[in-house]
Amino acid sequence: MLNKIDEIQGIGLHLDLVLRKIQDAYLRLFLSLDVDMTIEQWVILHQVYVLGDEASQREIVQSNFRNRATISRVIGKLEKKGWLTKSRFEGDLKRFKLELTQSGQEVIDLVLPHGKELRKLAVKNIQKEDFDTFLKVLDQVGDNYLE
C-alpha cells in the first residue's frame, strides 16, 4: 500500500475521508438524540467533563490543536446553550475555569453512553495488537511532519 500512496492522492486525503465518516456518525447520533451540537462542541463539553474541577480554557486550547479564538467561540456557544459556565479560578485571575451546568451534565449523560458505543464500533474486528500498531504508525506519521 505504501507504494500506492501517490495513486490514492496521499495519506492526508485517506485520513480525511475516515475522519469525515467518524464525524458523520457522531452528527447522526446527535440528531437521533435530538441534541443540537457540533463535533467541536462535543469535544469541548466532554473534555470539561473529563477534567472536572480542573477544567480550564487554557488546558482545552493546549489539548485541541485549535487556536484560542476558535476555542473561545465554541465555549461561548456552549455558555449560550446553558451547558457550561466560565469563571475565574480562585486565586488565579489569569485562567478561566469551565464547569458543566446541570443541563450540560444532562447532555453528557445522554450522549456519552452512545458515544462509547461509537468508539467500540471503530475498533470492531480489529485485533488489539493491530490497533496498537495503527496508533504507533499514526503517531510516527504525525511526528514525521514535525521534523
Res. 83 pLDDT band, cuts 50 70 90: very high
List C-alpha distances in Å: 88 to 30, 54, 62, 94, 131: 30, 12, 18, 7, 40
Distance CA 36, CA 42 (A): 10
Counting residues of the chain whose pLDDT is more than 70, the rounded percentage is: 94
Least confident of 55-59, 70-74, 101-105, 115-119: 55-59
Residue 76, pLDDT > 90, answer yes
What pLDDT is stored for residue 1 in this prediction? 54
Distance CA 127, CA 135 (A): 12
Distance CA 55, CA 60 (A): 8
Please give the CATH number for the structural domain made up of 37-122: 1.10.10.10
Residue 3, pLDDT > 70, answer no
Distance CA 57, CA 86 (A): 9
Res. 19 pLDDT band, cuts 50 70 90: very high
What pLDDT is stored for residue 14 in this prediction? 81
**Domain extent listing, the chain:** 37-122
